[in-house]
Amino acid sequence: MKTLIIAEKPDMGRNIAAAIEPKAVNKRTHLEGSQYIITWAIGHLIGLAEPDLYDDKYKKWNFTDLPIIPDSFKLLPNPRTKDQLKVIAGLAKECRDIVNACDAGREGQLIFAYIQQHLKLRQPVRRLWISDLTPETIRRGFAELKDGSAYEPLTKAARARSEADWLIGMNGSRAFTTKHGELLSVGRVQTPVLALLHDRQKQIEQFSSVKFYEVEAYFDQRETAYRGLWQGDRLTDKEKAEAIAAKVKGKPGHILSYEIKDTKEYPFRLYDLTLLQRDANARFGFSAKKTLDIAQALYEKHKVISYPRTNSNYVNEQNIPEMHRALDALKGTPYETLAAGANKQLVHKNNKAVCNPAKVEDHHAILPTGKRAGSLSPEEQKVYDLIIRRFLSQYYPPAEYKMHTVLTEVEREKFKTTIKQLLSLGWKIIYENDKSAPKDTSKKSGGKPAEGKEGPDGDGPSEPEEELVDTPFTLALDEPVHCRDSAAKEKETQPPKPYTEGTLLKAMESAGKQLENEELRDAMKDSGLGTPATRAAIIERLKNVGYVTMQGKRIAITQKGRSAVELIRGAGVELLTSPEMTGQWERRLNEISRGQASDATFMENVKKFTRSIVEKVSVQPRAAKTLFESAQADAAEAGGKGKSRGGSRSGGTRTRGSTRTGDAAASRASGTRASGAAAANSASGDREVIASCPREGCGGHIFMGNKGYGCSNYKLGCKFVIWKESLGKTLTPAMIKSLIEKGRTNKLKLIDRSGSPIEGRIVLKDRNLGQVEIETVT
DSSP string covering 345-367: GGSSTT-TTTB-GGG-SS-----
Give pLDDT, residue 453.
35
- Res. 67: pLDDT tops 70: yes
Give 254-310 pLDDT, tens digit per residue: 999 999 999 999 999 999 999 999 999 999 999 999 999 999 999 989 999 998 989
What pTM did the predictor assign? 0.74
Structure confidence at residue 681 as a pLDDT band (50, 70, 90): very low
- Res. 58: pLDDT tops 90: yes
Structure confidence at residue 49 as a pLDDT band (50, 70, 90): very high
Q: How far apart are CA 296 and CA 15, in angstroms?
A: 14
End-to-end CA separation in angstroms for the chain: 81
Taking residues 314-337, report their average pLDDT.
94
Candidate ranges 420-434, 520-534, 664-678; pick with highest mean pLDDT: 420-434
Give pLDDT, residue 454.
36
Structure confidence at residue 639 as a pLDDT band (50, 70, 90): very low
Taking residues 400-427, report their average pLDDT.
97
Q: CB neighbours (10 Å) of residue 766?
A: 12
Give pLDDT, residue 629.
62
Which among 307, 335, 395, 401 is annotated as catalytic? 307
Largest Cα separation within the chain, whole Å, is 95
Taking residues 12-17, report their average pLDDT.
93
Question: Which of 365, 421, 420 is CA-nearest to residue 394?
Answer: 365
- Res. 507: pLDDT tops 50: yes
Between 636 and 81, the higher pLDDT residue: 81
Give 172-221 pLDDT, tens digit per residue: 999 999 999 999 999 999 999 999 999 999 999 999 889 999 999 999 99
DSSP track, 22-45: TT-EE-SSEEE-SSEEEEE--S-S
Give 568-588 pLDDT, tens digit per residue: 999 999 889 988 778 788 889
Mean residue pLDDT across the chain: 86
Give pLDDT, residue 587.
85
Structure confidence at residue 649 as a pLDDT band (50, 70, 90): very low
Give pLDDT, residue 778.
64
For residue 310, which amino acid is it?
T
Give 169-186 pLDDT, tens digit per residue: 999 999 999 999 999 999
Poorest-confidence range of 103-107, 372-376, 447-451, 526-530? 447-451
Between 107 and 515, the higher pLDDT residue: 107
Is 307 one of the catalytic residues? yes
Between 716 and 1, the higher pLDDT residue: 1
Enumerate domains of the chain plus CATH numbers.
Answer: 2-144 (3.40.50.140), 162-205+503-670 (1.10.460.10), 211-265+403-492 (2.70.20.10), 273-393 (1.10.290.10), 684-776 (no CATH)
Residue 511 makes CB contacts below 8 A (sequence gap 6+) with 524, 527, 528, 529, 579, 580, 582, 583
Between 639 and 702, the higher pLDDT residue: 702
- Res. 324: pLDDT tops 90: yes
Question: Which of 179, 176, 206, 207 is CA-nearest to residue 191?
Answer: 176
- Say if CB 226 and CB 468 are below 8 A apart: no
- Say if CB 571 and CB 212 are below 8 A apart: no
* Dihedral (CA of 132, 134, 138, 141) sign: negative
Cα 749 to Cα 358, 501, 761, 776: the distances in Å are 45, 21, 8, 10
Taking residues 420-429, report their average pLDDT.
97
